[in-house]
Amino acid sequence: MMVSKKSSITLQKTLITSVGCSTIALLDADTFIVGTIKHQHPVRTVTVQGQEGDIRHKLLPDKKYRRHESSCTYVPCTNTVVFSDRDQHTVYMCEITSGDGRVIKSDKIRKPRRICAGPAGTVFVCSGDTHCMV
């Protein structure tokens, strides 16, 4: 969708997916990274042509998540998918080219709700139980 300076909204394109999506981030000019709802792969790709694919990484949980149980984003400068599991109080950072990654657990991150790619490869996590951004 496009919003003009006068707040007029124009629908550009609609992509119908085979699974529910809870979060979306831009991977490149033609592809999105999406967090799924009730799908065996919690992170997938969707192209602007509507083609879908799975993001598979050794660290990503093999679990179906309901709405608001997880979140994901993509950090372009590090080629990293970042995924959070609310109930496990965990953030997964998965470099998708090399296969490297990290699992982050911290007392500051309790029930992570949403995550956001920041400047210079940083990641911000909204921590629900601690009422802060980490």
Helix (H, G, I), strand (E, B) or coil at 78: helix
Rounded CA-CA distance 16/42 in Å is 17
pLDDT > 90? residue 110: yes
Residue 93 near residue 84 (C-beta atoms within 8 A): no
Q: How confident is the model at residue 33 (pLDDT cuts 50, 70, 90)?
A: very high
Rounded CA-CA distance 127/12 in Å is 34
Q: Give me the pLDDT at residue 58, please.
A: 86
Mean predicted confidence (pLDDT) in 78-83: 93
Residue 34 near residue 74 (C-beta atoms within 8 A): no
Query: DSSP label at 38?
Result: S
Helices vs. strands in the chain: H and E counts, helices first: 0, 13
Q: How many CA atoms lie within 13 A of 90 on its CB side?
A: 11
Say what the pTM is: 0.84
Instruction: Work out the angle at residue 120's Cα, subtended by the Cα atoms of residues 37 and 102, and round it to the nearest 5 degrees.
Output: 50
Task: Report which residue type is found at 100.
Answer: D
Rounded CA-CA distance 101/65 in Å is 21
Q: Give me the pLDDT at residue 119, please.
A: 92
